[in-house]
Structure 1
Amino acid sequence: MDRKFGWAAGAMMLALAGVPVGVRAQEGQGKWQVKLLGTAVLPDGKIKSVENNAAGIPAATQSKANDNVVPTLAVEYFLTPNVSVETICCLTQHDVDGRGALPGTELVADAKILPATVTLKYHLPLGAIKPYVGAGPTYFIFIDEKSGATTKALGLPRARLNDKVGAVVQAGVDVALGTGGFGLSLDAKRYFVRPTAHWFTAAGTEVLETRHKLDPWVLSAGVSYRF
């Protein structure tokens, strides 16, 4: 667990400490912005390939991860008036349920995801209304995932999801409310992350391994403060 949180902290600090100090000083216009957002996390979760099927699941088996709504904190630093780096902090929880040949089943329960994410953003200079686009890397950290009720009943009491590096693109708009630094923000991100899931017997033998198209849409709205 400590190793996982260490990775997350390192990735989130990249946006703040990884930019050369000389660049920030030279621009002389660096500004901070923080955002408190309500976020809908809408993953896919489809099985892309089955790497190990000693458990004998049917060939037509498919899966889907459920949606969730969570609070999100975003921290942004402006390198220039129109270019910034941003990192986010949130923790979202999902189940992975069966589809196709296994409808109504539960394969993974209560998988918590920490999406350590850094994006480089460009803001269009349109006055108080500033649309933006961005892109960057992400590192999905899976915490405390459990085997689902169905896989437990099949004699697979243990499950693990591999942490995974991926990419993210985003677009949104910031709207200033007066001149006091407060504003509104709308943001849409699309992640591209393909983790692998493993299920084990009580003795620790892996009998099922599947690769998944997680690829969530992450849609946020909330308030911002720039200073």
Structure 2
Amino acid sequence: MTISSRNYARWMVGISAGLFAFGAAAADMAPAQVAPVVDEVISSPSPWQVRVRALGVITKDSGSVDQSSAYGLEYSDTVIPEVDISYFFTDNIAAELILGTTYAKINTTGAADLDVGKAWLLPPTLTLQYHFTDLGAFKPYVGAGINYSMFYNQSDKGGFKNLDVKNDFGWALQAGFDYMLDEHWGLNFDVKKIFLETDWKVDNSPLGVPLSGKAKIDPWLIGAGVTYRF
């Protein structure tokens, strides 16, 4: 079959119009360019925190001598450096371990004031704390836990021989606060009460007989220092 020139021209115009329409539709269907998504990194504080404090150890002067009710005991107070390490399980719940060492001079009271001796004390204390977090830079907390007091380098005086103060467990209560100066640094004030009663004895004494009894120390630990949150 022969195609006339007029029909041929019409056919070419139709094809061109179809191709143009298809190209326009394809352009409309092209996917829109998606802006790259940048993951937002939200920083959170480290769960670790340390404090360095000056700590006053204020004892309760109470104790007994089994062999004579006329005697009691008293202990010297001290000021020592102390370090604690805290780990935050959540923003509100943390555990704190305090580390420090001190000594106590032991004297009899009552019928006579006698120097019994001196014992060094290592009292690691572990507390579980609740931190209040809705007061801005002021962050108070309360806690409770357990203490294990270890007595070492015990020495005797004034005719007493072989002083022995026994290691023992005690309970601890705590309250304090951090005032944060920035994201990492802050100031701290802390008070702990340790409930500690232990056995003691000496093999020889100026009374001419071995002595034994209870040493009720029950110290207050009052500290102030610097906080660093990693």
Task: Tell me, yes or no, whether TM beats 0.5.
Answer: yes
- For 1:144 and 1:195, locate their aligned partners in 2 and report how far apart those are by CA, in whole Å: 17
**Structure 1 segment 4-153 matched on structure 2, within 5 A:** 31-47=47-63, 49-51=64-66, 53=67, 58-103=68-113, 105-109=114-118, 111-125=119-133, 126-149=135-158, 152=159
Q: CA RMSD in A?
A: 1.9
Amino acid at match of 1:112: W
Amino acid at match of 2:62: K
Amino acid at match of 1:40: G
- Bigger strand share: 1
Match of 2:197 in 1: 194
Q: Secondary structure at the match of 2:124?
A: strand
The equivalent position to 1:163 in structure 2, one of 145, 167, 173, is 167
Question: Deviating runs (4+, > 3 A) in structure 1?
Answer: none
Which structure 2 segments of 5+ residues have no match? 1-43
Query: Is 1:175 aligned to 2:185, yes or no?
Result: no
Which structure 1 segments of 5+ residues have no match? 1-27
- Structure 1 residues 198 and 214, CA gap change in structure 2 (3 angstroms): same
Aligned residues of 2:45 and 2:229 also touching (Cα < 8 A): no
Q: CA deviation at 1:213?
A: 1.1
Match of 2:8 in 1: none
User: Identity, % of aligned pairs?
Assistant: 33
Q: CA deviation at 1:44?
A: 1.4
Larger Rg: 2
Aligned residues of 1:45 and 1:96 also touching (Cα < 8 A): no
Q: CA deviation at 1:29?
A: 6.9
Q: Secondary structure at the match of 1:195?
A: strand
Q: CA deviation at 1:30?
A: 5.7
* Deviations 1:141-179 (CA, angstroms, capped at 9, x unpaired): 000111232xx2xxx321100000110000000010023
- For 1:89 and 1:81, locate their aligned partners in 2 and report how far apart those are by CA, in whole Å: 23
- For 2:213 and 2:155, locate their aligned partners in 1 and report how far apart those are by CA, in whole Å: 15
Q: TM-score, normalised by structure 1?
A: 0.76
**Greater RCO, CA 8 A, separation 6+:** 1
* Deviations 1:23-72 (CA, angstroms, capped at 9, x unpaired): xxxxx97611100100000111411x434x2xxxx532122101000000
Q: TM-score, normalised by structure 2?
A: 0.75
Number of equivalenced pairs = 184
Amino acid at match of 1:187: D
- For 1:196 and 1:30, locate their aligned partners in 2 and report how far apart those are by CA, in whole Å: 42
